[in-house]
Structures are given as structure tokens and as C-alpha cells.
Amino acid sequence: MEATLEIRYALELARGGTEAILERVSDTVLATQPPGPSPPLVWDFADVAFFEELWLLRNLGNQPRIPHRHEDVYEAFAKRRHSRTGFPTLRPEAVRAYAEDVRERVLDALESTDLEAPNPLLRGRFVFGLVAQHELQAQESLLQTLQALASTEYHTPRERPPDRAPSGPDEITVPAGVFTLGAVDEPWAYDNELAPHDVELPSFLIDRTSVANSAFAEFVDDRGYRSRKVWSAEGWEWREAENAVAPLHWEGGKGGWERVRFGRREPVPMSEPVQHVSYWEAEAFAHWAGKRLPTEAEWERAAAWDERRGKMRYPWGQEAMGYEANLGRRHFSPTAVGSYGGGVSPVGCVQMAGDVWEWTASALEPYPGFLSFPYPELSEIYFGDEYRVLRGGSWATDTLIARTSFRNWQEPGSRHVFAGFRCARDA
């Protein structure tokens, strides 16, 4: 009974977050196609419900597709699978009814589910974690879409600024040694986080904080976007194709750089980490600064490895109390670099969870001993040089997702993500 209540709580907590994001959004905005490849908001919500039905009712419960009153939702998904020209119309009221029906059936089925059955999906209650985490990740996608709808103002609450971390050097020296890369004792870890394995790294230096808007503005003002020598060949090709001259949503104003944030124009806060930059922009800045991007192994070593206690789930320890990082939409934007004294990593880096996802130099590749589970589309089909790994989570990321072993990935030209970076260099 206790396990059943914990699962129910996790599912309901995730749904509550989705509803909190969407409750202030009109049906018209829900159905609006944003710029670029992202789907309308209603499609992300429909995908959450469809994923839940697929894994908890069909795959786990062996139930057939639920009644025909949701046929318009199923038909829209079927048309989308065979279409290359956009997203078929989905009515928000139909999706809400579908999501409610799926959830009611899931909770009913949960009461009679044998959680100790010899089913790989039930090991560590994994399938419920899969569904909950999928919805939590979808919440960040919803916010990315709301940000992309620049003409639509979305109300965001403001909280008091967090505490400041103790001051420290600009760079942290991380000594050479062996550490464990990958998820340890994480029953809901995705297949790409497994299997944990020892990695030996030479000594390196990594920035104590992520790169601030003020530093990136210096790069822009120094004609960084026009200096071919600081860009890789692929990066320069991307810059020219995109005609990029500054981070996404930055615009020149009378008093300096401004940005459009959730439909409102405001001065770019120079103390915040830069966000909405692609991998190529991060790489070019690092070259301009005489540095490079960290590999994901270096990033995880700096964020998660304590020489005495071993692998840490979060940069500050094994549990999260809420005061250690800017996660879970607490501020609806990054906070100033050097914040959150309670979240300092074992080597002394700050804000390695929350605020902005951080680009690494690494392509998404499987770890040694990788086994695809529970389906190849979770990770395996993305392995290769077409994607770069991001680490740490953003201000929009749930704490459950922001574990130090979690691997996010995007195409290197992606700018819609709440992503920034910190630099590193050889010792």
C-alpha cells in the first residue's frame, strides 16, 4: 500500500505541475503553432497522456485502446505519423477529456497491480518513474514553447533573490584521478545513464560559474559573431545560415541589450547566466576566451564526485531540500551567477544544477555495457555525432530530473532550450 501511494503521489504531483503551467493559457494559445519545429502546446499535453496510456495501460496492464470517444485524438496522432507538413488540429477540450480518462483508468489499475510481479518494467517501479519523468520533461517543453510565442504574454511570478555563495576563484582546478561516471542507486535512471563505470581523467580547470550575460555581451561587442577564427567550420556554417548576431531573443535597445521573455521586453540582466545559445555559440565563446567546453565526464566529475563520499546524486549531496538550486520554476528565469550557497559542488563549483542547462563538448554515445530499455527510441536512436550532451538542468527542470547523472541532448544548433554553458581548459 505504501508503494502504491508513493506512485500515485509521483504521478499526481507531475500532473499538478502541468496543469499549473497551462491554467493561465487560453485554448487559442494552446492550439497556436509556435515558430520553428516545436508542436503547439496542446500537442505536448496530448503526448503526455498518450505516453501514459501506452506504458501504464497497454504495455503494463495489457489493456486495449480506451473507448472511441477519444477517436479524434487517436486520429490526429495517426495523421501526424504520416505527415511531414505540420501538426493536425487537436481541440484542447478533447485532449483534456482524454488525459483525465487515462489518469482515472491508471489510478484504478494501480490498485490491483502486483508491484512485485517478475516484470522488468516493475523493477524499482521503473515504468511509473518513466511516465512521471516524461511528464516532468514535457513541462519544460511547454515553457520553451511559451517563450517561443513572443507575441503572447505569459504571467511569471517573482520571488526574492536567493542567497549568494561564498566567493571563490574564477576557475577551479580538478585533480587527476578516477571517478564513477553514470547513475548509481537510481531506480528511475534512463538506459543512457547506465551502466556506471570508472573513468580516469587528467587534471583540468573548470569555471566556478556558468558564463554570465555580461561576459557574453563582451564577446558580442568584440565582434565575436563576425570573427571567423573563433568558430569551428560547422559552427560558422550554422552562424551564417541562421544569420545569428547575438543569443536568441536578444535585441539592441537604446540603453543596451534587451530581451523578450514570455512576451515582455526587458533589459538583459547582465548578472544572470546567458541562455538560449546553441552549442556552436558556446564553443565559439570558449575559443574566444582561450578555453574550451568541458566534456560531459569532466562536468560530472566536477559536479558529483566527492573523494570521501563517492558519487553524489546532486552537487550538494543525496537529497534536495529546495534551497540549494534554482529548479522547478521557482524564479521562471535564471538567477545571478554565484547564487545558492547551499548548492556548491564537492570541488567548489556553483549552480551545477538549475538555472541553465550546460552544453558539453561530448556527443551522445552509449556507456560501456549499454542495454536499450525499455525501447530504442528512449536513447539508442540518438547516439552519434548529431547530438551534443547538456548537463545540470535549468530553472524549468524538476529536481527529480536534475540528478548529476542525467543526460540531456540536443542538436548543436538548438537555441530554444534554456541552455548556457561554463568553460574549461587543460591544466
What domains sit in the chain, N to C, each tagged with a CATH number? 2-148 (1.20.120.450), 156-427 (3.90.1580.10)
Q: Which of 114, 125, 128, 131 is nearest to 187 (CA)?
A: 125
Are the C-beta atoms of residues 345 and 316 closer than 8 Å to each other? yes
For residue 17, the model assigns a pLDDT of 96
For residue 376, the model assigns a pLDDT of 93
What count of residues does the chain have?
A: 427
If one compares 1 and 275, the residue with the highest pLDDT of the two is 275
What is the share, in percent, of the chain residues with pLDDT greater than 90?
86
For residue 85, the model assigns a pLDDT of 66
**pLDDT band for position 160 (cuts 50, 70, 90):** confident
For 158-215, the DSSP string reads --PPPPBPPP--SEEEEPPEEEEES-SS-TT--GGG-S-EEEEE--EEEESSPPBHHH
**Given a cut of 90, is residue 161 above it in pLDDT?**
no
**Given a cut of 90, is residue 343 above it in pLDDT?**
yes
Q: Which of 200, 196, 198, 197 is nearest to 175 (CA)?
A: 200
Are the C-beta atoms of residues 406 and 364 closer than 8 Å to each other? no
CA distances, 293 to each of 104, 207, 420 (Å): 46, 10, 11
CA dihedral (99, 104, 107, 112) positive or negative = negative
**Given a cut of 70, is residue 138 above it in pLDDT?**
yes
Place of cell 546553441: 278
Residue 162 makes CB contacts below 8 A (sequence gap 6+) with: 323, 326, 335, 339, 340
CA dihedral (219, 220, 221, 222) positive or negative = positive
Mean pLDDT of 153-165: 85
For residue 1, the model assigns a pLDDT of 63
| pLDDT tens string 9-43 | 999 999 999 999 999 999 999 999 888 778 899 99
What does the mean pLDDT of the chain come to? 94
Mean pLDDT of 400-408: 97
| CA 173/CA 171 separation, integer angstroms | 7
| CA 339 from centre of chain | 20
| pLDDT tens string 228-282 | 999 999 999 999 999 999 999 999 988 899 999 999 999 999 999 999 999 999 9
| pLDDT tens string 201-225 | 999 999 999 999 999 999 999 999 9
CB-facing half-sphere around the CA of 320: CA atoms within 13 A: 20
